[in-house]
Amino acid sequence: MRYRLDIHTDERARQERLEADVRRGLTARQKSLPPKYFYDRAGSLLFERITELPEYYPTRTESALLAEIVPESIGAFRPDDIVEIGAGSSEKTRRILDAASAGGRDVRYVPLDVDRLTLEATAAGLLRDYPRLSVHAVVGDFERDLAHVPPPRGRRLALFLGSTIGNLDAPERRRLLAGLRGILPDRGDRLLLGVDLVKDVKLLEAAYDDAAGVTRDFNRNILRVINRAVDGDFQPEAFRHRAFYNEAASRIEMHLVADAAQTVKLGRLGLTVRFRPGEDIWTESSYKFTRESTETMLAEAGLAIDAWYTDAEGRFGLVLARPCSP
């Protein structure tokens, strides 16, 4: 059997969690919404457009770096089992599959993603192009469903690319890395993690506030998602996009600012949310790392740096990590 798909997402439970998240976030003193709600179909397309913007360096930098290091880092390691967290369209994965399956080796690919349709389309494409590949897809949320990743079949490589880890605050980051350590039971297993690096503030801020306004549209799209999910009447255009680098916290913050007073009704929640002029919703943090901060967060989870790679400008990091103590 070359293909299997497990579903660990219950639509009703997901809706209930969204409602709880929205209620908590919009009734707090600092209003906030979790960035995972950016990604409906429209949001995913907007993110794809972001990755093509001249200002948004992370995706293309990581891709080029990956192409450069795969022969050395993956070619030598030769994984049998490749787990990808937040797999999405798995575009970068092909480079890794090429190296892993070179010489006609049997490889299993285990993508985990919240979007079933994306997983199905990705699996179909890979199964067509890699005749010796098997795919065990898992539909689920990487913050909840790592335990549903099947046990390894041979040497395992886990992939967590795109600096998605940068969206998590320290406690969630710790929980996630502990979970990743849990699916790498063997000393010979490896994690390949992509981290966006601390750099010049101007470059960072331009990447999250592009001239064409795509990131503004992406930010506002979260309000459309909320409107649809809880019968809300947010006017996305009444909120201004604001993105800045918080140096003390090493993170880009994205906010939606109500320049004039707003009253928003969320029908399904029986909730009215008021905004004073200038009040904002904090929609995303995107943490930036250094080699040192990466090493520390990995060590807390029982992982050690095996190899550290960056592009010539030191913009983006790819770290190959191995299980150590815990």
Tokens of 221: 């799209």
Which range of residues in 71-79, 97-105, 113-121, 162-170 is near ligand AVJ by CB under 6 A? 162-170
Contact pattern for ligand AVJ over residues 52 through 91, marking x by CB under 6 A: ------x---------------------------------
Is 208 an interacting residue with respect to ligand AVJ (CB under 6 A)? yes
* SS3 assignment, position 184: coil
What distance in Å separates the CA atoms of residue 50 and residue 52, rounded to the nearest whole number? 5
Residues 17-56 that bind ligand AVJ (CB under 6 A): 50
How large is the angle between the packed helices 41-51 and 214-230, nearest 10 degrees?
170
d(CA 51, CA 85): 19
* Alpha-helix residue ranges (DSSP H) falling in 11-152: 11-27, 41-51, 58-77, 93-101, 116-129
Span from 7-15, 60-68, 145-153, 156-164 in contact with ligand AVJ (CB under 6 A): 156-164
Of 34, 111, 140, 162, the one binding ligand AVJ (CB under 6 A) is 162
Segment interacting with ligand AVJ, rule: CB under 6 A, options 9-17, 101-109, 164-172, 307-315: 164-172
Query: Least distance (Å) from ligand AVJ to the CB of residue 165?
Result: 9
Residue 128 in tokens: 């067509």
Q: Provide the minimum distance between the beta carbon of 280 and ligand AVJ in the complex, in angstroms, as a whole number.
A: 16
Among the listed ranges 72-80, 113-121, 158-166, 221-229, the one in contact with ligand AVJ (CB under 6 A) is 158-166
From 81, 84, 115, 284, residue interacting with ligand AVJ (rule: CB under 6 A): 284
Of 75-83, 146-154, 159-167, 182-190, the segment contacting ligand AVJ by CB under 6 A is: 159-167
The answer to whether 122 contacts ligand AVJ (rule: CB under 6 A) is no
Nearer Cβ to ligand AVJ, position 77 or 287? 287
Report strand pairing: 31-32 vs 280-287: parallel
Residue 125, SS3 per DSSP: helix
Burial of residue 189, with CB atoms counted within 10 A of its CB: 0-12 exposed, 13-18 middle, 19 or more buried: buried
H or E stretch including 222? helix 214-230
Q: Which residue in 89, 81, 112 sits closest to 9, CA to CA?
A: 112
Site string for ligand AVJ, 209-228 (x = CB under 6 A): ------x-------------
The full length of the chain comes to 326
Q: Which is nearer to ligand AVJ, 5 or 53 (CB)?
A: 53
Q: Tell me how far apart the alpha carbons of residues 164 and 51 are, in angstroms, rounded to a whole number.
A: 13
Which DSSP state fits 289?
A: B
Query: Nearest Cα to 232, choosing from 281, 188, 277, 190?
Result: 281
Binding pattern for the stretch 166-195 against ligand AVJ, x by CB under 6 A and - elsewhere: xx----------------------------
Residues 242/256, Cβ–Cβ less than 8 Å: yes
Residue nearest to ligand AVJ (CB): 286
Task: Kindly state the smallest distance separating residue 251's Cβ from ligand AVJ, in Å.
Answer: 9
Of 63 and 164, nearer to ligand AVJ (C-beta) is: 164
Which residues contribute to the site for ligand AVJ (CB under 6 A)? Answer: 50, 58, 162-164, 166-167, 208, 215, 284, 286
